[in-house]
A and B are shown apart, each in its own frame.
Chain A
């Protein structure tokens, strides 16, 4: 069975927690459209990275499911 590598866990953790922080920051800056625009742009820039991580995790989970 393919193992979840520590670098993948680290990457997932990093991306997911950053998103949580970004959401909190957006919530505290709802009155600042310039900031919201800037941070939303950054989240969009990261979208592909998030997708890659998600695909990797999905493939590991599917492989695990097949074995079961």
Chain B
């Protein structure tokens, strides 16, 4: 456990260090030093003396610790009700009156362990992501396992479903300081620029490179690099990034000297990466590298139970109140919410800007009511149709199934077990289909175009 002891007197500081033997200890004797450490470093537990070089400075420090999500324990001789209440209000988790003994310390450390467990992540989710949808909550539960793995995490979901919020939740779950969470939107950069941003460059690497620049991957050492809109990353950048993820080492543009950085990757996309892989627009090996841990966020039309809590959330930001009629509520449940929470936020803003007090169906703008009719007709190409006619539906589907499995095996570098896990079926079934003989196999380019036939 990493602990910070903030205490201006030598003897109590030394005594507490002795009680905490076996843990990693850092010490601060002044308010200024403690403030600096609390803002820049990460600790599991922080012991704060109440009075330092500044009276009741521990309360101020507890406030900083709370903002960082750190477990702060006040250690003091004060036991006045008013101070105790203030300390808890400002963010301390425990208030220990002296003498601090092995026994009292054991109790608070046990409380810290409980605090740090799943309940803490549950609390973080509850506070930051509004959802009552069981499917979404089950996806968000993955956050509880994040600290146990170094593997990249892929957040999938349509625009406006809160992928960025989840990425920030990952930072909080890992208790990283803000400067160790490096965020980049891949869609904002051209191919060369994104490489300079990610890997950095050295002076003279290209025209205009008049000094060395540290890349984002280097800045994310012992932290997280969040790559939003990963589908926009060029294949060349994907290849370089994949190597950097695997080796935790990379070369800045124009440099022959490698840089080591222990970064964790979190990616987000609103696109279907598997389709991009099949269209050869995204590297299959890079997809395999970044997708072993996936977290999927669902559109609002699939989690209608979240519509009213979200309306309430955005509405609570205004001091004026509105009332939604039953008819309007029914109407709201029918909407498509194409842009998900962004649509809800705009709708609430629209109601307030127009000064509506009672919301009836008439106060819902028409563009939100335009319901797209879903077609049940598949978008098959002429070649697909021809192929189905030639092969018959049964053989075509078998070939289709074979190709899906083959693609997943390839995505998992030939590992049938991992492919089966991703497909949600048994390894035996994967083996059975892939080894099956006596049926026609064709290369289908789903959605039309190229295909190649192979008869066994």
Contact = CB atoms under 8 A, between A and B. Distances in A.
Question: A-side binding surface: helix, strand, loop or mixed?
Answer: helix
Question: B-side binding surface: helix, strand, loop or mixed?
Answer: helix
Nearest to B12: A18
A42 B11 contact: yes
Nearest to B18: A25
A29 B20 CA distance: 10
A21 B19 contact: yes
Nearest to A9: B77
Interface in B15-55: 15-19, 21
Contacts of B17: 25
Contacts of A16: 99
Interface in A37-56: 38-39, 42-43, 45-46
Given A17-B77, A26-B18, A39-B15, A45 B98 contact: no
B102 A28 contact: yes
Contacts of A18: 9, 11-12, 15, 98-99
A10 interface: yes
B11 A39 contact: yes
Contacts of A32: 21
Contacts of A59: none
B10 interface: yes
B14 interface: yes
Given A10-B77, A13-B77, A13-B98, A21 B10 contact: no
B101 interface: yes
Contact of A42 (B14, B21, B99, B101): B14
Interface string A1-42: 000000000100110111011101111110010010011001
B425 interface: no
A24 B19 contact: yes
A28 B10 CA distance: 18
Given A13-B77, A13-B98, A20-B99, A29 B11 contact: no
A18 B14 CA distance: 10
A29 B16 CA distance: 12
Given A10-B77, A18-B12, A21-B12, A39 B18 contact: yes
A27 B98 CA distance: 17
A19 to B, nearest CB: 8
A4 B382 CA distance: 99
A59 to B, nearest CB: 22
A20 B105 CA distance: 13
Contact of B14 (A10, A13, A14, A38): A38
B100 interface: yes
A10 B101 CA distance: 19
Contacts of B21: 28-29, 32, 35
A17 B15 CA distance: 11
Q: Give the residue among B17, B18, B19 with the most A Cβ atoms within 10 A.
A: B18
A45 B11 CA distance: 9
A13 B9 CA distance: 15
A66 to B, nearest CB: 30
Contacts of B77: 10, 13-14, 17
A65 B295 CA distance: 75
Contacts of A10: 77-78
A22 B100 CA distance: 9
A46 B18 contact: no
Contacts of A26: 18
Contacts of B102: 24, 27-28
Contacts of A17: 77, 98-100
Given A14-B77, A29-B21, A22 B101 contact: no
Contacts of A22: 11-12, 14-15, 18
Interface string B88-119: 00000000001111100000000000000000
Contacts of A35: 18, 21
Nearest to A16: B99
Nearest to A31: B21
B390 to A, nearest CB: 81
A39 B10 CA distance: 9
B101 A20 contact: yes
In the A-B complex, list the 3 residue pairs whose CB atoms are closest, starting with the nearest: A25-B18, A17-B98, A17-B99
Given A17-B77, A35-B21, 14 more contacts: A10-B77, A18-B11, A18-B12, A18-B99, A21-B15, A21-B100, A22-B14, A24-B15, A25-B16, A27-B102, A29-B18, A38-B14, A42-B10, A42-B11
Interface of B: 9-12, 14-19, 21, 77-78, 98-102
Interface of A: 10, 13-14, 16-18, 20-22, 24-29, 32, 35, 38-39, 42-43, 45-46
